[in-house]
Structure 1
Amino acid sequence: MKKIRSKLSVILGSFFVLGYASGCSVKNKFKGINIEVKNNLDFNRKEIVGIPSGKLAGLLKNTSEKNVRIKIQGAKDYLRTQWIDYNNDGVGDELLFEVDIKANSVVNYSIVSDTAKVPESKATTYSRFVPERIDDYAWENNKVAFRAYGPTAQQLVEQHKEGGTLSSGIDLWLKKVDYSIIDSWYKKNVESSGYYHIEHGEGYDPYHVGASRGTGGAGIWENDSLQVAKNYISYKTIATGPLRTVFELTYAPWSSYGVQETKRISLDLDSNFSKFEISLRSDKKIPNYTLGITLHEKKGEVNINKINGWFRHWEPIDSSFVGEGIVVNPEVVNKAFANDSKTPDQSNLLIVTNPAAKLTYYAGFAWTGSGQLSDVTQWDEILAKQAKIIANPLEVIVK
């Protein structure tokens, strides 16, 4: 690790710092801080970058968080930013901003103190607990939307009552607009049951999860069978905002290994992929922690790229197509295969990983009805790029 200047490596706006040079200094704390962001890949990248607040200490001594502004050097307009307070102590821990960098290029930014307004946009990220639909937890950005199911929905099923859902699989909402739809769809669903299952011009939810893994649900593969958790038992919303939403879902101990699992899930603006940071605990060694994508009625196509760490399903839904995918560091993958089962909702594309206390992966989708893509070749290209992004994070240098 070089100690000439500070270096942060960011994976889609990742939370952790991969390198920092102790010898760096803040240049003129009153005039601002210079940031250099470098894209070493051969395609353009639009991603969220995070700067830990400690790297902005000199500036923050003389101004408040709300007055911190970022712009491309030489530009007039400021960029949208977002502070994230991970430990809920009222102080921002990380400052986010979006970068748009061409292939094999470098862009320089200035961080300054100013009270000028920042341009607004209807495109945002959002997540919340949804008590009006039993106890869903839903999240979205300007491209995709997801949801998970809570304990009351589980109890309804176990009590043989209507309306419940028993699943730790991840549901997909197919949206075609760049503004937030979660509040609107749930409100209209209360007024007219089943509203969001019907296309009204903004997209809809035709995606069936059931007991399957949906897209990104997990389990333990053992003896040709998949052991899975039930619904989440608690949630914690950490951040919602224009650039990133972050929350945690906790599950009751599950499987014969008594696995205690917490999922920290985040979704960045402009990304088709939710990031899953999994924490696992057990008194026993956990084998074969497995990620999955439902194969539904097995009418779709599977592509397994174990070498590069991306796995996809492409399937027809109504009159359009949906591509689902999981991207993970290939070094942690043991094997991957399409499990064909005669039991409903048990046919899944499964990615078996080597046991670990923590695991990070990305799960997401794209829908042809949204206009984001038109065929499976484009979906494969998106997945291949996502794998390269994970392996080659943007280089962020604080000068």
Structure 2
Amino acid sequence: MRSTFFILCFLCLCVGVSAQKPKHLITVENTSKFNRSELVRVSWADVLKVYPTIDTANFQVINKATAGQLPYQLEKLGGAEVRFLLLQVAIKAKSKLELQLSKGKPNPPVTKTYGRYVPERKDDFAWENDKIAFRMYGKALEGTNENAHGMDVWVKRTSDMVINKRYKVDNYHKDHGDGLDYYSVGTTLGAGDMAPYLADTVWYLGNYRSYKVLDNGPLRTSFQLIYDEASANGIKIKVTKQISIDAGSQLNKVENTYSFNEQTALPVAVGLATRKEEKKDVFTDAKAGILSYWEPVHGADGITGVGAIFLKTPIQIKQKHNQLLGIGVAKANQPIIYYTGAAWNKAGEITDSVQWFKYIRDFNEKLKRPLRVKVK
């Protein structure tokens, strides 16, 4: 009888220990030769299958190896329901990471991405992460002597969000200690905007008319910019541009959807503004869909590198109209996806063209070998 009692106690203890084992696991695998630090996207539907009682306001993501919490974001893509769980992971080459979902209050998030409409500055839309900042120009700027066409860069050397502070100071063309806006866009596509390319010409479709914020940090900010219909070489074209920026990345993901009736495909160009120096520090690879440029030094302001990567390759590459152009093809009502962005030497992380061109090549390799995610 006594032995039976001890056996029952032992079985109860085993059941208790078993019940404490992690039941809701996310495995992230890095099959590439690079150490990776980036966001991974986990289907929320897959999470609900293994953890149907999860409370979106009260759960943690725990690294099993360290027992530390991982930052995360619930991505809704402009809707009311959660679509994806975004996780910020650091994982070594050729290794796996096991993460546990458990009930509990998460650590307060640190905002690493942010974007907003700026009506006080003629309809700018500005966005940033902990590395770099950008803006696009709105309709209110058209017809003024300040108007420009492409994507602007605001360089920074702080992980803090700077957009609101700079618009309040107004004099953001001067470095007050955390960076500035010295990049010149002019009549170009700037730091990687896209426009139709017809009759050997870039056709600017005007500045954006309206916007929609889809998600706004802390780890990913995404939004849409909607443009009025415009004519390019006799073709009437409308475009919606969807842009997202992740914490820790120098590059934006851009998904442009063009609608047009006269044909089934539309040549489009991504442009990087080039400067007047004769020797240009450029790296391109048409087969890999890469164009990148390291600008000349701009006095005390420093040096900006810009670059872009097409997902669909190969592309054509040209240097004309004061810009380096990568030319691809957009199909009607189907997104054409590419990545574009910039780095500043005075931020201290990417300080010369060799490092910048390597960053672009490595980024492209990582796109080809995404982290593998399983929920069980």
**TM above 0.5:** yes
Please report how far the alpha carbon of residue 197 of structure 1 lies from its aligned counterpart in structure 2 after TM superposition: 0.2
1:23 maps to: none
2:315 maps to: 334
In structure 2, the residue corresponding to 1:221 is in which secondary structure? strand
Q: Distance in 2 between matches of 1:93 and 1:355?
A: 27
* 1:112-191 matches, cutoff 5 A: 112-115=102-105, 117-118=106-107, 120-121=109-110, 124-154=112-142, 156-157=143-144, 164-167=146-149, 169-189=150-170
Please report how far the alpha carbon of residue 37 of structure 1 lies from its aligned counterpart in structure 2 after TM superposition: 0.8
Please report how far the alpha carbon of residue 96 of structure 1 lies from its aligned counterpart in structure 2 after TM superposition: 0.8
Are residue 225 (structure 1) and residue 201 (structure 2) matched? yes
Q: Distance in 2 between matches of 1:375 and 1:80?
A: 31
> Contact 1:140/1:182 (CA < 8 Å) preserved in 2?
yes
Are residue 351 (structure 1) and residue 326 (structure 2) matched? yes
Q: What per-residue deviation string (whole Å, max 9, x for no partner) do you get for residues 306-364 of structure 1?
A: 12221111112224221100011252x3311211xxxxxx3111111023232110001
Please report how far the alpha carbon of residue 296 of structure 1 lies from its aligned counterpart in structure 2 after TM superposition: 3.0
Q: Distance in 1 between matches of 2:79 and 2:276?
A: 44
Q: 1:33 to 1:93 in 2, by over 3 A?
A: same
Q: Distance in 1 between matches of 2:374 and 2:54?
A: 22
The one-letter code of the counterpart of 1:178 is: S
In structure 2, the residue corresponding to 1:95 is in which secondary structure? strand
2:289 maps to: 309
Q: 1:63 to 1:223 in 2, by over 3 A?
A: closer
Moved over 6 A (4+): 27-30
> Contact 1:49/1:99 (CA < 8 Å) preserved in 2?
yes
Corresponding residue to 2:303 among 321, 338, 363? 321
> Contact 1:82/1:241 (CA < 8 Å) preserved in 2?
yes
Are residue 253 (structure 1) and residue 222 (structure 2) matched? no
> Contact 1:304/1:337 (CA < 8 Å) preserved in 2?
no
Corresponding residue to 1:73 among 52, 61, 64? 64
> Contact 2:229/2:237 (CA < 8 Å) preserved in 1?
yes
> Contact 1:275/1:363 (CA < 8 Å) preserved in 2?
yes
Please report how far the alpha carbon of residue 93 of structure 1 lies from its aligned counterpart in structure 2 after TM superposition: 1.4
Unaligned runs of 5+ in 2: 1-17
1:292 maps to: 271
The one-letter code of the counterpart of 1:37 is: V
Q: What per-residue deviation string (whole Å, max 9, x for no partner) do you get for residues 238-282 of structure 1?
A: 111121001000111232321211111000000000100111111
Relative to the length of structure 1, the TM-score reads 0.83
Q: Quick check: 244-253 or 217-226, which moved more?
A: 217-226
Please report how far the alpha carbon of residue 144 of structure 1 lies from its aligned counterpart in structure 2 after TM superposition: 0.6
In structure 2, the residue corresponding to 1:252 is in which secondary structure? coil
1:5 maps to: none
In structure 2, the residue corresponding to 1:57 is in which secondary structure? helix
Q: Across the two proteins, how many residue pairs are aligned to each other? A: 351
1:282 maps to: 260
What CA RMSD, in Å, does the superposition of the two structures yield over aligned residues? 2.0
Q: Distance in 1 between matches of 2:19 and 2:243?
A: 37
2:344 maps to: 367
User: Percent of aligned pairs with the same residue?
Assistant: 29
In structure 2, the residue corresponding to 1:377 is in which secondary structure? helix
Q: Distance in 2 between matches of 1:203 and 1:280?
A: 35
Q: What per-residue deviation string (whole Å, max 9, x for no partner) do you get for residues 45-81 of structure 1?
A: 1110111211111465323211121111143321111
